[in-house]
Amino acid sequence: MSAECSSYLNADKVLVSGFSCPRAGGDARAVFCCGFQDVKYCCDDPHSFFPYEHSYMWWLSVGALVGLSIAAVVLFAFIITVCVLCYLFISTKPRSKLDTGLSLQMAGKSSC
């Protein structure tokens, strides 16, 4: 079994001629053409060819990084808000116990 990787323009816009998989001197199990439209290589996974340019994946990574950064800021703001509210709750509690108006007496003794 073998696959043909067609010729392509790499990221530097240089024409790379097509080749057959597996390549001479390469891994005999690498019988599939893998990679992107501008970076192709032989591999052993039939589902590893992506029909877009390699730089597209870089933009996906930047988008994921921006999304994770926004999520981290929101989480940080939530934690700070919880800490401030806890501090305000603790600091605004009355310092002394409320007077219930009842006096405590020891059991068994009567007052005259």
Neighbours of 41 (CB within 10 A): 17
Choose the weakest-confidence range: 18-32, 43-57, 94-108.
94-108
The pLDDT-based confidence of 100 (bands split at 50, 70, 90) is low
DSSP state letter for 69? H
- DSSP for 25-60 reads TS-TT--EEEE-SS-EEEES-TT-B-SS-HHHHHHH
% of the chain with per-residue pLDDT over 90: 21
Which range of 37-46, 63-72, 74-83 scores highest in mean pLDDT? It is 74-83
Q: What are phi and psi of 40, to 5 degrees?
A: -125, 150
Neighbours of 42 (CB within 10 A): 21
Between CA 23 and CA 16 the distance in angstroms is: 15
Are 55 and 41 in contact, with CB atoms under 8 Å apart? no
Between CA 67 and CA 112 the distance in angstroms is: 76
pTM over 0.85: no
Q: Where are the domains of the chain?
A: 4-43, 52-92
Largest separation between any pair of C-alpha atoms in the chain:
113
